[in-house]
Structure 1
Amino acid sequence: MQNDNLRQTLLELEQARDRYVDFYDLAPVGYLTLNDKGMISEINLTGAAMIGVERHALLNHRFSQFLNPEYRDRLYRHFLHALASDDTQSCELALQRGDNSAINVQLDCICLNKQGQAPLLRVVLTDITERTKSEEAIRKLAFYDTLTQLPNRRLLDDRIEQTMAACRRSGEYAALMFLDLDNFKPLNDHYGHGMGDLLLIEVAQRLLSCVRGIDTVARFGGDEFVVLLRELDTDESVSRAQTALVADKILAALAEPYRLTSHPADQTNITVEHRCTSSIGVVLFQDQVHNCEELIKNADIAMYQAKHDGRNRIHFVAARISR
Structure 2
Amino acid sequence: MKKCWCSVQGKEVRGSEEKSGRNQTAIPKFLLLGLTEDPALQPLIFSFFLSLYLVTILGNLLIILVISSDPHLHTPMYFFLSNLSFTDICISTTTIPKVLANIQAQDQSITYTGCLSQMCFVLIFGGLECCLLAVMAYDRYVAICHPLRYTVIMNPHLCVLLVLLCLLVTTVNALLHTLMVLRLSFCTALEIPHFLCELTQVITLACSDTLINNLLVFWGTSLFAGIPLSGIIFSYAQIVSSILRIPSVGGRYKAFSTCGSHLSVVSLFYGTGFGVYISSAVTDSPRNSAVASVMYTVVPQMLNPFIYSLRNRDMKEALRKLIGRTVSPLACMI
Normalising by structure 2, report the TM-score: 0.25
Q: Which has the higher helix share?
A: 2
The one of the two structures with greater contact order (alpha-carbon pairs below 8 A, sep at least 6) is: 2
In the superposition, the TM-score normalised over structure 1's length comes to 0.25
